[in-house]
């Protein structure tokens, strides 16, 4: 009894179900995936699975589609997350004003997009922005503006805007909560001390909000790397391959071309890349934290 | 002087409120337009210049009564409920353990978050091959397993934040009163985080409900979930637009309603006790 | 450096009437203490002066300027908050310099003034640290440094010492007073600690329920409380309050009677007598002694040179403060004779609590 306790205490027994579940649905696939990435593993030739070492990884170096998808994804992530951060912060400041009436109403409505299934968002905007059927091109046309939202020039940018529509609310949610939990007195002290609105924002609000901003950037940034539904709903990577993102490309390689080994290798590169970016971000944000 | 300052303040405030109203319109307009489209008679669906017309329930009737959308809706409900059910059962004790005993040290919390953030691309290949081998493709089970990969970590993460706020005295009192550790957890601690459990369950439900990527690859035919079915309207024949609008509304309205209940708890949950603002 | 005038100041939070027709003139260079029970509106009054709350109606004048409609930054006041309100991400030097930087003061001037303030407060060695690395007392000094560096017309303090331990609190009191003399500034100081109010203020404003009950020097407040509330609030242990009637110049209660000369008042009154104005017979000049009463001694709470002695005088509970030298005549459970000091009796109208002279 006593030994059983010390070897296997209550605290560990409590995590057994979770550990088992994650082992089956998460760890095993992760390991299996890595194993697959070291093989020539095609769904069309399952009897002919061959170990090829790092060939799948090395092959990526000369795969222009992979690099194109990577570039598109990085542009997308940086563009979208940047806009979402700025807009989210601005809206949070607007909602945080003590004079604002109906704050809860504004907040509840403004947060809604983040709860909707992205495929619906994609289709909604495809419809709204469609050249012939869409209401937005129609309205713009009335004032003499013609934009081809999903043409080769703008398609990626339009996808970014759609992401901004859906995910700025997430930033707003975190930033607003952050602002609300800041102590009031430093801001009152700043008011008495004669600091202007902008000076207070720069010297007090932003530094105090840094931890929240960091967490928001990491969560949203990592999430943005997974962009898939908008592409699937709207452009399927086109025109050309101008909106092909990494997850969409992996999907294509795995489930259109059935080259599982190559897809698994790309997925691992994606993990490495995201971890690297998180690390960089973390270093930048905590750089002047010293002392 | 008082007057002019007052005037300027009113002006600035009005301007800032105007920005909020514009943001509100940007958020609401797509819903509005989809709703409008769902009520348009077939011949008007493809005509963006028409805003006023006599509404027709044709699309609604067609989608709800004569299509497979209700079946896909049911699939989504089954998958989301099962996923959340399993996730809650395995996540709650673990989250409690992480929160109370810091089991596994600080690394645990980070790994939970990392699991939550894992790109689905890494898991989809092996999950697909696994389900293929087990002949489970196109079943609910395959999608539930896939959804567990992200719903379980999210719910664990969520609940850690709520357990962190339960005072230790509570369960110690219960143990002094003669409960075992597990009874204390089950009968005293769990009920005291009921709002957190509810919020986590709803949030997990929404995540599962909204997923299309896994469902697209692992399901087909009769086992499709609603998002996959919606994606099927991709063909974009003008005539389909009204039905697509209905299907979209069916998929998003329940989630929007749920969102109003959990918004309040979302921040604490997302913070997972890692971010003390 | 500037007087402050509050004229018919009213403040509502929604429907809650927090400050009621406040009229107060604070003299240039004075150290004025606002004191009163929790929730009486002290902080609100201070924040109204600072401009952090807008007044519902009335007028506030600082110096010769009507500041009623001005932003806090245009009032040239400095405020020290109860929780210090230091910026956690800035060094002590930057915290102190914040107000100057906000006003775009030249860098060399900022440095000069920060160092002068720091040396006045003896925190020069801490300038490079962050607030988290400071003790409570040191944080308090930084907060004060942030106020003095700006050379404001008026200093506003909201319970600045309440987060410090007892010893430090007493030390800081002295330092603040010294600082006040050096700076010759007008100080408005909020506290709910009546002892702090008595020792620090050269003028004390006693508030209750959003209304000023009395303004005066510590002596006036202590010896001539204008209202029953003030009498009960100031002094420790609290004044004994005895309900009774005045008839033909005699105080009559169900417990005892005391003939008084003076007041022409007739009717229900409250007789106030401070515990320290209760004596053993013979220790006062005879003409100041009231008739001897017999009291039962319940316990003796020795404080050192003095003792608090709870008494029962014909079922009436009272407290007396007795000099340690007289204690041998007193025994727990025994009885003793007491007299009151005639010159220190306070009479209040039972109907409205106002003092009867
Ligand atoms: N922002 C506000 N909204 C509504 N009521 C308020 C607000 N601020 C203060 N009050 C109310 O006004 C009254 C006076 O508050 P105030 O903070 O001035 O009291 P105080 O005298 O400083 O008390 P304490 O000694 O506890 O600090 C209280 O009843 C309080 O509840
Ligand atoms: Mg106060």
Q: pLDDT for A64-109, tens place per residue? A: 999 999 999 999 999 999 999 999 999 999 999 888 888 889 999 9
Q: Is the CB of C44 under 6 A from ligand 1?
A: yes
Q: Which ligand has the shortest distance to the CA of C12?
A: 1
Q: Is the CB of C274 under 6 A from ligand 1?
A: no
Note the pLDDT of residue A218: 83
Residues of B with Cβ-Cβ distance to A247 under 8 angstroms: 119-121, 213
The pLDDT of residue B21 is above 70: yes
- Please tell me the distance from the alpha carbon of residue B27 to that of residue B33, in angstroms, as a whole number: 11
Note the pLDDT of residue B274: 43
Nearest CA to ligand 1 atom 1: C13
Flag the least confident range among A42-51, A132-141, A216-225, B254-263.
Answer: A42-51
What count of other Cβ atoms lies within 10 Å of the Cβ of residue B101? 14
Nearest atom in ligand 1 to the alpha carbon of residue C41 is 18
Which of B3, B5, B10, B276 to probe by mutation at the C interface, max C CB count within 10 Å?
A: B5
Mean predicted confidence (pLDDT) in B222-233: 87
C-beta atoms of A185 and C73 within 8 A: no
User: Class assignment of domain C4-232?
Assistant: alpha beta
Residues C49/C55, Cβ–Cβ less than 8 Å? no
- Please tell me the distance from the alpha carbon of residue B183 to that of residue C127, in angstroms, as a whole number: 54
A291 pLDDT band, cuts 50/70/90, is very low
Flag the least confident range among A40-49, C77-86, C261-270.
Answer: A40-49
Q: Is the CB of C15 under 6 A from ligand 1?
A: no
Q: Is the CB of C18 under 6 A from ligand 1?
A: yes
Nearest CA to ligand 1 atom 5: C13
Residue A226 CA, chain-centre distance (Å), reads: 6
Q: Which ligand has the shortest distance to the CA of C47?
A: 1
Note the pLDDT of residue B3: 62
- CA-nearest residue of chain B to C68? B2
Residue B233 CA, chain-centre distance (Å), reads: 22
Give the SS3 label for residue A183: coil
Q: Where are the domains of chain C?
A: 4-232, 240-349
Note the pLDDT of residue A141: 86
The pLDDT of residue B16 is above 50: yes
Dump pLDDT digits (tens) for A250-260: 999 988 888 88
Flag the least confident range among B25-29, B90-94, B163-167, B269-273.
Answer: B269-273
Dump pLDDT digits (tens) for B34-70: 999 888 887 787 777 778 888 888 889 888 888 888 9
C-beta atoms of C87 and A194 within 8 A: no
Q: Going from the N-terminus, what domains does chain A have, and what CATH number goes with each?
A: 64-290 (1.10.3720.10)
Residue C190 CA, ligand 2 centroid: distance in Å: 8
The pLDDT of residue A116 is above 80: yes
Q: Is the CB of C206 under 6 A from ligand 1?
A: no
Residues of C with Cβ-Cβ distance to B8 under 8 angstroms: none
Residue B200 CA, ligand 1 centroid: distance in Å: 37
Dump pLDDT digits (tens) for C3-58: 999 999 999 998 899 999 999 999 999 999 999 999 899 999 999 999 888 899 99
- CA-nearest residue of chain A to B240? A127
Nearest atom in ligand 1 to the alpha carbon of residue C159 is 27
% of chain B with per-residue pLDDT over 90:
26
State residue B29 phi and psi, 5-degree precision. -60, -45
Q: Candidates C10, C39, C53, C83: which one to mutate for ligand 1, based on the most atoms within 8 Å of Cβ?
A: C39
Mean predicted confidence (pLDDT) in C344-349: 91
Mean predicted confidence (pLDDT) in B120-149: 88
Sign for the CA dihedral angle at C126, C128, C134, C138 comes to: positive
The stretches of C184-308 forming alpha helices (DSSP H) are: 194-200, 218-223, 228-233
Nearest CA to ligand 1 atom 18: C41
Nearest CA to ligand 1 atom 29: C39
At the topology level of CATH, where does C240-349 sit?
Answer: OB fold (Dihydrolipoamide Acetyltransferase, E2P) (2.40.50)
Beta bridge partners of C269: C244, C349
Give yes or no for B6 touching C (CB within 8 A). yes
| C-alpha closest to that of C159 among A208, A182, A185, A183 | A185
**Partner residue opposite A181 with nearest CB, options B182, B234, B277:** B277
Q: Is the CB of C47 under 6 A from ligand 1?
A: no
Q: Which ligand has the shortest distance to the CA of C34?
A: 1
- CA-nearest residue of chain C to A190? C99
Q: Is the CB of C192 under 6 A from ligand 1?
A: yes
- Please tell me the distance from the alpha carbon of residue C345 to that of residue C357, in angstroms, as a whole number: 10
Note the pLDDT of residue A251: 92
C-beta atoms of B1 and C69 within 8 A: yes
Give yes or no for B121 touching C (CB within 8 A). no
Mean pLDDT of chain A: 86
A286 pLDDT band, cuts 50/70/90, is low
A194 pLDDT band, cuts 50/70/90, is confident
Flag the least confident range among B81-85, C108-112, C326-330.
Answer: C326-330
| C-alpha closest to that of A159 among A217, A69, A79, A273 | A79
Nearest atom in ligand 1 to the alpha carbon of residue C44 is 18
Which of B13, B27, B121, B133 to probe by mutation at the A interface, max A CB count within 10 Å?
A: B121
Checking C261-267 for CB contacts under 8 A at 24+ apart, the result is C262/C357, C263/C347, C263/C356, C263/C357, C265/C347, C265/C349, C265/C356, C267/C349, C267/C350, C267/C351
Note the pLDDT of residue B147: 93
- CA-nearest residue of chain A to C146? A193
Q: What is the DSSP letter of C290?
A: P
The pLDDT of residue A126 is above 80: yes
Note the pLDDT of residue C257: 86
- CA-nearest residue of chain C to A211? C89
Cα distances (Å, whole numbers) of residue A26 to A21, A33, A36, B127: 8, 10, 15, 9
Residues 6+ apart with CB under 8 A from C98: A189, A190, A193, A195, A203, C87, C90, C146
Residues C76/C65, Cβ–Cβ less than 8 Å? no
C-beta atoms of C99 and A194 within 8 A: yes
C-beta atoms of A192 and C77 within 8 A: yes
Mean predicted confidence (pLDDT) in A36-41: 84
Mean pLDDT of chain B: 84
Q: Is the CB of C12 under 6 A from ligand 1?
A: no
The pLDDT of residue A2 is above 60: no
Note the pLDDT of residue B134: 87
User: Which tokens in the block code for residue B70?
Assistant: 């209700």
ipTM of the complex: 0.87
Q: C residues 33-72 near B, CB within 8 Å?
A: 68-69
Nearest CA to ligand 1 atom 6: C13
Nearest CA to ligand 1 atom 19: C39
- Please tell me the distance from the alpha carbon of residue C95 to that of residue C88, in angstroms, as a whole number: 9
Q: Is the CB of C113 under 6 A from ligand 1?
A: no
Residues of B with Cβ-Cβ distance to C68 under 8 angstroms: 2
Q: Is the CB of C334 under 6 A from ligand 1?
A: no
Q: Which ligand has the shortest distance to the CA of C52?
A: 1
**How many B-C residue pairs are in contact by the CB < 8 A criterion?**
5
Q: Is the CB of C194 under 6 A from ligand 1?
A: no
A195 pLDDT band, cuts 50/70/90, is confident
**Partner residue opposite A106 with nearest CB, options B24, B91, B100:** B24
Nearest atom in ligand 1 to the alpha carbon of residue C53 is 1
Residues of B with Cβ-Cβ distance to A130 under 8 angstroms: 236
Note the pLDDT of residue B28: 95
Between B178 and C53, whose confidence is greater? C53
Residues of C with Cβ-Cβ distance to B2 under 8 angstroms: 68-69
Q: Where are the domains of chain B?
A: 2-57, 59-276
Burial label, C132 (beta-carbon count in 10 A; 0-12, 13-18, 19+) = exposed
Highest mean pLDDT among B89-93, B182-186, C81-85, C150-154: B89-93
C-beta atoms of B259 and A115 within 8 A: yes
Q: Is the CB of C41 under 6 A from ligand 1?
A: yes
Note the pLDDT of residue A260: 87
Q: Name chain B's partners: 3 or more CB pairs within 8 A.
A: A, C
% of chain C with per-residue pLDDT over 70:
100
A172 pLDDT band, cuts 50/70/90, is very high
Nearest atom in ligand 1 to the alpha carbon of residue C47 is 18
| C-alpha closest to that of B162 among B182, B191, B205 | B191
Nearest atom in ligand 1 to the alpha carbon of residue C36 is 21
Note the pLDDT of residue A161: 95
DSSP notation for B124-188? HHHHHHHHHHTT-TTSHHHHHHHHHHHHHHHHHHHHHHHHTTS-HHHHHHHHHTT--HHHIIIII
At the topology level of CATH, where does B59-276 sit?
Answer: MetI-like fold (1.10.3720)
Give the SS3 label for residue C296: strand
B5 pLDDT band, cuts 50/70/90, is low
Residues 6+ apart with CB under 8 A from C126: C92, C118, C134, C138, C142
Residues of A with Cβ-Cβ distance to B156 under 8 angstroms: 18
% of chain C with per-residue pLDDT over 90:
42
The pLDDT of residue B237 is above 70: no
User: Which tokens in the block code for residue A218?
Assistant: 């990491």
A7 pLDDT band, cuts 50/70/90, is low
Q: What is the DSSP letter of B273?
A: T
C225 pLDDT band, cuts 50/70/90, is very high
C-beta atoms of A189 and C79 within 8 A: yes
Give the SS3 label for residue C355: strand
% of chain B with per-residue pLDDT over 70:
92
- Please tell me the distance from the alpha carbon of residue B15 to that of residue B8, in angstroms, as a whole number: 11
Q: Please name the residue that has the structure tokens 């209202």.
A: C227
User: Which tokens in the block code for residue B110?
Assistant: 């980070």
């Amino acid at each position: 009894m006593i030994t059983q306790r010390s070897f296997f205490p209550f605290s560990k027994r409590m995590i057994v179900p979770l550990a088992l579940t994650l082992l089956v649905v998460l760890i095993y696939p992760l390991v299996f995936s890595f194993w697959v990435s070291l093989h020539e593993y095609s769904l069309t030739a399952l009897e002919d699975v061959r170990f090829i070492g790092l060939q799948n990884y090395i092959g990526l170096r000369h795969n222009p589609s992979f690099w194109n998808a990577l570039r598109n994804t990085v542009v997308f992530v940086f563009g979208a997350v940047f806009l979402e951060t700025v807009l989210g912060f601005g809206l949070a400041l607007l909602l945080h004003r003590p004079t604002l009436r109906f704050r809860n109403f504004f907040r509840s409505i403004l947060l809604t997009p983040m709860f909707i299934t992205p495929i619906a968002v994609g289709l909604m905007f495809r419809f709204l922005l469609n050249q012939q059927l869409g209401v937005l091109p129609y309205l713009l046309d009335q004032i003499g503006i013609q934009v081809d939202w999903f043409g080769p020039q703008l398609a990626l940018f339009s996808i970014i805007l759609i992401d901004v529509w859906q995910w700025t609310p997430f930033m707003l949610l975190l930033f607003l909560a952050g602002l609300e939990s800041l102590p009031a007195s430093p801001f009152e002290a700043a008011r008495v001390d004669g600091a202007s609105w902008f000076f207070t924002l720069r010297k007090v609000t932003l530094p105090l909000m840094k931890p929240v901003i960091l967490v928001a950037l990491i969560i949203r940034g990592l999430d943005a790397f997974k962009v898939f539904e908008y592409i699937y709903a709207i452009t399927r990577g086109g025109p050309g391959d101008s909106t092909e993102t990494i997850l969409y490309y992996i999907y294509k390689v795995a489930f259109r071309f059935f080259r599982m080994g190559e897809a698994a290798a790309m997925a691992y590169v994606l993990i490495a890349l995201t971890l690297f970016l998180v690390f960089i971000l973390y270093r930048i944000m905590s750089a002047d934290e010293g002392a | 002087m008082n007057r002019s300052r007052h005037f300027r303040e009113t002006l600035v405030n009005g301007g800032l409120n105007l920005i909020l109203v514009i943001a509100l319109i940007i958020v609401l307009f797509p819903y509005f337009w989809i709703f409008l489209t769902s009520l348009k008679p077939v011949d008007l669906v493809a005509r963006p210049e028409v805003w006023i017309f006599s509404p027709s329930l044709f699309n609604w009737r067609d989608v709800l009564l004569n299509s497979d959308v209700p079946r896909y809706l049911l699939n989504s409900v089954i998958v989301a409920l099962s996923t959340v059910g399993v996730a809650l059962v395995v996540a709650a004790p673990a989250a409690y353990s992480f929160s109370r005993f810091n089991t596994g040290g600080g690394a645990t919390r980070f790994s939970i978050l990392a699991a939550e953030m894992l790109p689905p691309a890494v898991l989809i290949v092996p999950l697909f091959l696994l389900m293929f081998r087990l002949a489970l493709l196109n079943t609910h089970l395959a999608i539930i397993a896939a959804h567990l990969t992200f719903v379980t970590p999210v719910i664990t993460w969520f609940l850690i934040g709520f357990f962190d706020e339960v005072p230790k005295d509570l369960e110690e009192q219960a143990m002094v009163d003669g409960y075992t550790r597990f009874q204390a957890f089950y009968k005293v601690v769990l009920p005291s985080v009921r709002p957190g459990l509810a919020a986590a369950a709803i949030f997990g439900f929404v995540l599962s409900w909204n997923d299309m990527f896994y469902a697209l690859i692992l399901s087909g035919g009769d086992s499709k979930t609603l998002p996959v079915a919606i994606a099927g309207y991709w063909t974009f024949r003008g005539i389909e637009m009204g039905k697509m609008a209905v299907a979209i509304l069916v998929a998003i309205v329940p989630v929007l309603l749920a969102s109003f209940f959990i918004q309040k708890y979302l921040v604490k949950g997302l913070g997972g006790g890692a971010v003390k603002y | 450096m500037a007087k402050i005038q509050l004229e018919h100041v009213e403040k509502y939070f929604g429907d809650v009437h927090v400050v009621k027709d406040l009229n107060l003139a604070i003299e240039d260079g004075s150290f004025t203490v606002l004191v009163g029970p929790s929730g009486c509106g002290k902080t609100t009054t201070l924040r109204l002066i600072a401009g952090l709350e807008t007044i519902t109606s009335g007028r506030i004048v600082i110096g010769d300027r009507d500041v009623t409609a001005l932003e806090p930054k245009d009032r040239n006041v400095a405020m020290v908050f109860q929780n210090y309100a230091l910026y956690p991400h800035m060094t002590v030097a930057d915290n102190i310099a914040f107000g100057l930087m906000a006003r775009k003061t030249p860098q060399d001037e900022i440095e000069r003034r920060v160092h002068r303030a720091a040396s006045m407060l003896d925190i020069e060695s801490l300038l490079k640290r962050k607030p988290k690395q400071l003790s409570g007392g040191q944080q308090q000094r930084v907060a004060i440094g942030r106020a003095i560096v700006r050379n404001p017309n008026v200093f506003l303090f909201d319970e600045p010492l309440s987060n410090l331990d007892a010893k430090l609190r007493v030390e800081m009191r002295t330092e603040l007073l010294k600082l006040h003399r050096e700076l010759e500034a007008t100080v408005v100081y909020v506290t709910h600690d009546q002892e702090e109010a008595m020792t620090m203020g050269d003028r004390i404003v006693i508030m209750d329920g959003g209304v000023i009950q009395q303004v005066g020097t510590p002596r006036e407040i202590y010896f001539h409380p204008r209202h029953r509330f003030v009498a009960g609030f100031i002094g420790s242990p609290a004044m004994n309050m005895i309900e009774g009637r005045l008839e033909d110049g005699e105080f009559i209660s169900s417990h005892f009677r005391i003939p008084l000369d003076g007041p022409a008042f007739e009717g229900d009154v409250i007789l106030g007598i401070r515990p320290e104005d209760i004596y053993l017979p013979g220790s006062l000049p005879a003409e100041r002694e009231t008739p001897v009463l017999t009291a039962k001694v319940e316990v003796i709470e020795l404080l050192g040179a003095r003792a608090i002695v709870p008494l029962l005088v014909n079922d009436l509970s009272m407290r007396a403060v007795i000099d340690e030298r007289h204690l041998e005549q007193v025994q727990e459970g025994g009885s003793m004779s007491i007299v009151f000091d005639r010159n220190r009796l306070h009479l209040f109208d039972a109907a409205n609590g106002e003092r009867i002279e």
